């Protein structure tokens, strides 16, 4: 044995894997192709390719209003869930308090429960508190539900962190406040960026919780949802294709961040005496 | 090393926030399930009638069983697609492995709604698939049973959860020490024997994690049935949604939600136990 994982021929398995890939990508390819189809979203083959649907999309004011709403909600949710997620991760990592195990499970609940349960619970709470449904309730819902994602990512970051730096900082006379801003936070930079990107994307795409908390102003997924019920045109394919392109852009940024992080870590390891 | 004040400062705000915006809402869901609606008004009168209705009304029980059946089919299909794919990547893909891994992960970032919509345009009676079949002269009339059926729901959810199921299985397969596999082959076991006696048992924790995920998330889905399910594809979460909307019976809806919550949490608890038993460390 000279190789740790010998590649042996398995033609049937290879064909099967190719078919699974085809299944996973088929809808995305169809969506993309028919966004250029003059005749509409169905039929075969797509013919008379056109950019009309994109032109129509760019002139469609309600869509862009909803995009703006989604961007605002997502940006605010990132701020809210990163703040509380960071504190929760620090608390879980460093403090002991009664009900800690319960707290950990409670924070993670929105991540594992079906969205409808979290959405309806928050709706009941809004009614109970006498709040009007609006983008504010959507933001509070997203921000709170996504604390789960922030806590998971940042807790993992804290576990990997070297405590000695913080100890040294405190020993050398820095206040806990200075230590937090100059040591803890910079060390968590990568986890914060990764969590932020993930939360932003999840909030932009959220529909199950939003469904119950939305007021008069739509977010992008809810605007698309409303149009699906009224009859469909390739304009929706066009916006979906754009969303896909933006998501892929985010993934590329995310990997850049990760790879750069890895690169820095590797270099540090090399320079160690 | 951290002072008392530091600990208070980091734990009190999230405790407060999570208490008010998560614990209280979930608690409200729980208490609503013991209340009632009289003449269109919610009355705070404690009773168990909602749970009794849920268990005795054949409509609700029927939908609940259909939902379980759909969720089980989604789980099975996602495993049948996801496991061989993970196995291929881990043991046979060689140098292309990292690229292929990224290719599986990318669709996870594509909007749920967008993917559901894509299936709608593929399966519809004047959709892409029917156009394709007529183009090939395989059929002359549109095939109508594809969309608005439990089949369409299973197909759409399988498409969404296959990458989710793939991830933990792939992670488990990657953690199997390769010398174990080689030892099995050196000692004369065939490929199939090696797979069933070494690889499969060692990948059970990943398989369980993926399966639970697919089952639990399908169980509470209400968007796929609305998009592609039609009346015959209605699931339990759609019943909840209509009870909270047009039907206006929040207590009964809350009782069904608590029931979904109970099934979800017991399943998670059960698989956590099973995963511990099957993990080889």
* A154 and A46 co-located in one domain: no
In the beta sheet, which residues pair with residue A257?
none
d(CA B231, CA B135): 30
pLDDT digits (tens, 9 = 90+) for A68-101: 999 999 999 999 999 999 999 999 999 988 889 8
**Model confidence at A56: pLDDT above 60:** yes
Q: How far apart are CA A92 and CA A158, in angstroms?
A: 10
Query: So what's the pLDDT on residue B111?
Result: 80
Per-residue pLDDT reduced to its tens digit, B4-45: 888 889 999 999 999 999 999 999 999 999 998 887 788 888
Check if A123 contacts B (Cβ < 8 Å). Answer: yes
What confidence category does residue A266 fall into, taking pLDDT thresholds of 50, 70 and 90? low
Say yes or no: B236 contacts chain A, CB-CB below 8 A. no
Domain boundaries, chain B: 49-278
Residue span of the structural domain in which A30 resides: 11-50
Q: B222 Cβ partners below 8 Å, 6+ apart?
A: A116, A208, B235, B237, B238, B240, B241
Share of chain A above pLDDT 90, in %: 48
The residues, ordered by sequence, that sit 6+ positions from B174 with a Cβ below 8 Å of its Cβ are B90
Mean pLDDT of B219-226: 92
Q: Tell me whether the omega of the peptide bond preceding residue B8 falls within 30 degrees of 0, making it cis.
A: no
The token pair at B142 is: 């549109």
Does residue A142 sit in the same domain as residue A45? no
CA-closest candidate to residue A158, choices A191, A194, A199 = A191
Instruction: Provide mean pLDDT across the span B173-186.
Output: 90
The 3-class SS string of chain B reads CCCHHHHHHHHHHHHHHHHHHHHHHHHHHHHHCCCEEECCEEECCCCCHHHHHHHHCHHHHHHHHHHHHHHHHHHHHHHHHHHHHHHHHHHCCHHHHHHHHHHHHHHHHCCHHHHHHHHHHHHCCCCHHHHHHHHCCCCCCCCCCCCCCHHHHHHHHHHHHHHHHHHHHHHHHHCCCHHHHHHHHHCCCCHHHHHHHHHHHHHHHHHHHHHHHHHHHHHCCCHHHHHHHCHHHCCHHHHHHHHHCCCCCHHHHHHHHHHHHHHHHHHHHHHHHHHHHHCCC
Quote the pLDDT of residue A229: 79
Q: Give pLDDT, residue A77.
A: 97
> Is A88 touching B (CB cutoff 8 A)?
yes
Q: In Å, how far is B121's CA from the nearest CA of chain A?
A: 6
Range name among A136-150, A154-168, A228-242 with the lowest pLDDT average: A228-242
- Mean pLDDT over all residues of chain A? 87
Q: Are residues A141 and A83 in the same domain?
A: yes
Chain B neighbors of A21, CB-CB under 8 A: 85, 100, 103-104
Residue A262's pLDDT is what? 58
**Is residue A122 situated within a structural domain?**
yes
Whether chain B has a CB inside 8 Å of the CB on A230: the answer is no
Number of domains making up chain A: 2
| For residue A269, pLDDT beyond 80 | no
Q: Are A123 and A238 part of one and the same domain?
A: yes
The residue of A114, A122, A203, A246 whose CB has the most chain B CBs within 10 angstroms, and thus the best one to mutate to test that interface, is: A114
Min mean pLDDT across A62-66, A256-260, A262-266 is at A262-266
What residues of chain B lie within 8 A of the CB of A247, using their CB?
A: 109-111
Q: Does residue A1 sit within a domain? A: no
Q: Is the pLDDT of residue A25 over 70?
A: yes
How confident is residue B112, by pLDDT bands cut at 50, 70 and 90?
A: confident
Residues A45 and A152 in one domain: no
Q: What is the CATH number of domain B49-278?
A: 1.10.3720.10
A69 plus A34 within the same structural domain: no
Q: Report residue A50 CA to chain centroid gap.
A: 32
- Segment A171-186, tens digit of pLDDT: 998 888 899 999 999 9
Chain B residue with CA closest to A247: the answer is B109
What residues have CB less than 8 Å from B156, skipping those under 6 apart? Answer: B115, B116, B119, B224, B227, B228
B7 Cβ partners below 8 Å, 6+ apart? A91, A94, A95, A96, A97
Say yes or no for a CB contact (<8 Å) between B26 and A5.
no
Identify the bridge partners of residue B38 per DSSP, sorted by sequence position: B41
pLDDT at A7 over 60: no
Work out the minimum CA distance from A269 to partner chain B, whole angstroms. Answer: 24
Query: Confidence band (pLDDT; 50, 70, 90) for A199?
Result: very high
Specify whether A150 is located in the same domain as A33: no
What contacts B224, CB < 8 A, 6 or more positions away?
B116, B153, B156, B157, B233, B235
CB contact under 8 A, B11 and A41: no
Both A24 and A139 in one domain: the answer is no
Phi, psi of A41 (to 5 degrees): -85, -10
CB contact under 8 A, A91 and B115: no
**Percent of chain A scored above 70 by pLDDT?**
91
Q: A231 in the Ramachandran plot: left (φ > 0), alpha (ψ -120 to 50) or beta?
A: left
Domain identity same for A153 and A252: yes
Mean predicted confidence (pLDDT) in B85-109:
87
A20 contacts in B (CB within 8 Å)? 81-82, 84-85, 162
Q: What is this model's ipTM?
A: 0.89
A24 touches chain B (CB under 8 A): yes
Report the percentage of chain B scoring pLDDT > 90.
54
């Amino acid at each position: 044995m000279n190789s740790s994982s010998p590649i042996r021929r398995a033609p049937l398995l290879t064909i099967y894997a190719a078919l699974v890939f085809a299944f996973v990508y088929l809808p995305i390819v169809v969506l993309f192709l028919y966004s250029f189809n003059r005749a509409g979203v169905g039929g075969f083959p797509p013919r008379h390719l056109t950019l009309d649907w994109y032109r129509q999309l760019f002139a469609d004011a309600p869509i862009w209003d909803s995009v703006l709403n989604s961007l605002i909600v997502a940006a605010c949710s990132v701020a809210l869930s990163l703040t509380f997620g960071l504190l929760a991760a620090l608390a879980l990592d460093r403090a002991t308090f009664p009900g800690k195990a319960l707290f950990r499970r409670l924070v993670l609940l929105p991540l594992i429960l079906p969205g409808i349960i979290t959405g309806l619970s928050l709706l009941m709470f809004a009614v109970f508190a006498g709040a009007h449904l609006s983008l504010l309730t959507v933001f509070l819902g997203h921000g709170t539900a996504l604390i789960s994602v922030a806590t998971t990512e940042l807790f993992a970051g804290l576990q990997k962190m070297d405590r000695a730096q913080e100890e040294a900082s405190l020993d050398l006379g820095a206040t806990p406040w200075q230590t937090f801003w100059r040591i803890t936070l910079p060390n968590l930079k990568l986890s914060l960026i990764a969590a932020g990107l993930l939360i932003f994307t999840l909030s932009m795409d959220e529909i199950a919780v939003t469904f119950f908390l939305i007021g008069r102003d739509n977010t992008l997924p809810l605007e698309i949802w409303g149009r699906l019920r009224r009859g469909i045109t390739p304009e929706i394919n066009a916006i979906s294709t754009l969303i896909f392109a933006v998501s892929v852009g985010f993934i590329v940024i995310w990997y850049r961040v990760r790879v750069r992080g890895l690169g820095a870590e590797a270099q540090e390891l090399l320079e160690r005496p | 090393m951290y002072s008392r004040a530091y600990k208070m400062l980091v734990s009190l705000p999230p405790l407060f926030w999570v208490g008010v915006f998560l614990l209280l809402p979930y608690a409200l869901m729980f208490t609503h399930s013991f209340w009632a609606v009289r003449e269109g008004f919610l009355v705070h009168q404690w009773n168990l009638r909602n749970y009794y209705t849920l268990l005795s009304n054949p409509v609700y029980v029927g939908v609940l069983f259909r939902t379980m059946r759909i969720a089980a089919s989604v789980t099975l299909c996602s495993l049948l697609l996801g496991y061989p794919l993970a196995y291929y990547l881990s043991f046979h893909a060689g140098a292309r492995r990292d690229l292929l891994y990224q290719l599986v992960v990318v669709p996870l970032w594509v909007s749920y709604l967008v993917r559901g919509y894509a299936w709608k345009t593929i399966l519809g009676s004047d959709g892409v698939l029917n156009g394709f079949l007529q183009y090939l002269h395989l059929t002359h009339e549109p095939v109508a049973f594809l969309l608005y059926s439990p089949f369409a729901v299973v197909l759409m959810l399988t498409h969404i959860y296959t990458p989710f199921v793939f991830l933990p299985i792939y992670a488990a397969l990657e953690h199997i020490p390769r010398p174990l596999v080689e030892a099995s082959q050196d000692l004369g076991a065939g490929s199939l024997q090696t797979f069933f006696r070494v690889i499969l048992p060692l990948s059970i924790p990943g398989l369980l994690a993926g399966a639970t995920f697919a089952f639990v998330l399908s169980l509470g889905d209400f968007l796929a049935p609305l998009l592609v399910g039609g009346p015959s594809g209605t699931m339990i979460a759609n019943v909840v949604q209509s009870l909270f909307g047009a039907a206006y019976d929040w207590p009964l809806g809350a009782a069904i939600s608590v029931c979904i919550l109970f099934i979800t949490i017991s399943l998670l608890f059960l698989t956590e136990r099973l995963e511990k038993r099957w993990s080889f460390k």
